[in-house]
Amino acid sequence: MKRIVALDMLRGYALVCIMLDHMPIGLLRNLTLTNFAVFDAAELFVLLSGFLVGMVWVKVEARQGRRTAQLRFLRRAAQVWLALIAGAILLALFSALLFKLHMNHTAVWFQYARWILEHPIGYVATVALMWMQPNLLDVLALYVLLIATVPLTVPFLLRMPWIALAVSVAIWWFAAPLNAMIPNQRPGPGLLFNPFGWQLLFFSGVAMGAFRDRLMPVLQRHGRLLTAVSAAVLLFSLTVVLSWKIGAPAKPLTDALRQITGGIDKWSLDFVRFAAILAASWIVAVPLARPFAWMAGTRPGEALAEIGRGGLFSFIVCVMLSIWGDALDMTVAKGGAAWFWLRLAIDLWLIVAFWAIAALWMRRESWLPQLRARLRLD
């Protein structure tokens, strides 16, 4: 299947934003997506993942049949589950190593470092059972559940799209009480990323990927109207975020906006966030399609695309680097110009390191066989 480079670039951008957002005192986290819209990179990542699922499913089913597509995504769900377990082990061990080196960090809960050393079997078992989802890896737990349903839900969506949409909206509407029924280690009800809420965004992405050839000609007949509405939604979204950032001086505006939006909850996928990411998707896919295609051909765009193509590997690297970046940030003494430049240097170095690791991984066919031969692993 021919890859869409701009799509890979956006996935890479989402992963870089996630890395920076997970560094509590990082400098460039003030420039990530969440600073300009009521949604953040998590929505972008899930929507793009759904889009790819829709594209891949249609291609595989057309060429090799439905059963092959179903088996492919069952295997994919297993891969994501194994990545969740491997990531949780690496996260806890890396955190423990940093504490051993007296490098404090707050991006990840300190208890994981203790549990992996004191109760390794129990730690791995609770993660494998998904009774516990270490923070920074929560979205992988959501992804496991969503991908595991794909062999049943996608054929239903392709056959009866409007009924599937109605079912998805109904599940989203009752997401909070449904999530509360999931047994979990967290003190709050259910999973942090509520799968009953976020499935609406994921399957919206699946529908976009699966039906894009039929959808776009219909939608483009109303292109000007959709662009105007989408731009208005994004402008409203930006206004909401700016009112939050301004704080007390903008309280009257914040209160007025809250009368319209209510509380904007990320974890169950609030409608305001859902509408904003869909509006952004239209703006990127239609009026800004050419600029984004151009950006994908630049050096930075190609670097982001390599990160995006890294998939699960890139996500795990993203988590590890965010922990390391947080630990490095906390070693920098606050105050003075050096504090600013050192923290900026840490963020930039992490982005470059992220790209270098992803690029090395994507070229593994050229060096991995030689390494295996030298280590006599073949």
Task: Report how far residue 142's alpha carbon sits from residue 77's, in angstroms, rounded to the nearest whole number.
Answer: 11
Q: Among 151-160, 317-326, 356-365, which is the least confidently predicted range?
A: 356-365
Give the global pTM. Answer: 0.95
Q: Are the C-beta atoms of residues 49 and 204 closer than 8 Å to each other? A: no
Q: Could you tell me the pLDDT band of residue 222, with boundaries at 50, 70 and 90?
A: very high
**What percent of the chain clears pLDDT 90, i.e. is strictly above it?**
89
Residue 233 scores a pLDDT above 70: yes
Distance CA 142, CA 314 (A): 17
Separation CA 340–CA 77 (nearest Å)? 42
Say if residues 203 and 54 touch (Cβ distance below 8 Å): no
Average pLDDT over residues 213-238: 96
Using pLDDT thresholds of 50, 70 and 90, give the confidence band for residue 376. low
Tell me how crowded residue 248 is: count the other CB atoms within 10 A of its CB: 6
- Coil vs helix vs strand at 330: coil
Model confidence band, residue 374 (pLDDT cutoffs 50, 70, 90): confident
Rounded CA-CA distance 69/72 in Å is 5
Alpha-carbon separation of residue 172 from 163, 211, 238, 335 (angstroms) = 14, 22, 25, 46
Q: How confident is the model at residue 81 (pLDDT cuts 50, 70, 90)?
A: very high
pLDDT band for position 375 (50/70/90)? confident
- Alpha helices, H only, the chain: 5-21, 41-64, 66-100, 111-118, 120-128, 138-159, 161-173, 175-180, 195-220, 223-246, 251-261, 271-285, 289-296, 299-309, 311-329, 336-362, 364-374
* 165 within 8 A of 190, measured Cβ to Cβ: no
- Between 15-24, 179-188, 242-251, 301-310, the lowest mean confidence (pLDDT) is in 179-188
The predicted structure's pLDDT at residue 338: 85
What interhelical angle do 138-159 and 161-173 show, nearest 10?
140
pLDDT value of residue 108 = 94
Residues 6 or more apart whose Cβ sits within 8 Å of residue 51: 7, 205, 206, 208, 209
Eight-class DSSP state of 105 = -
The token pair that represents 372 in the structure block = 């295996």
Residue 378 confidence (pLDDT) above 60: no
Instruction: Report pLDDT for 188.
Output: 73
**Pair 306, 362: CB distance under 8 Å:** yes
pLDDT in tens, 25-47: 999 999 999 999 999 999 999 99
Note the pLDDT of residue 2.
Answer: 54
In whole angstroms, give the CA distance from residue 88 to residue 133: 8
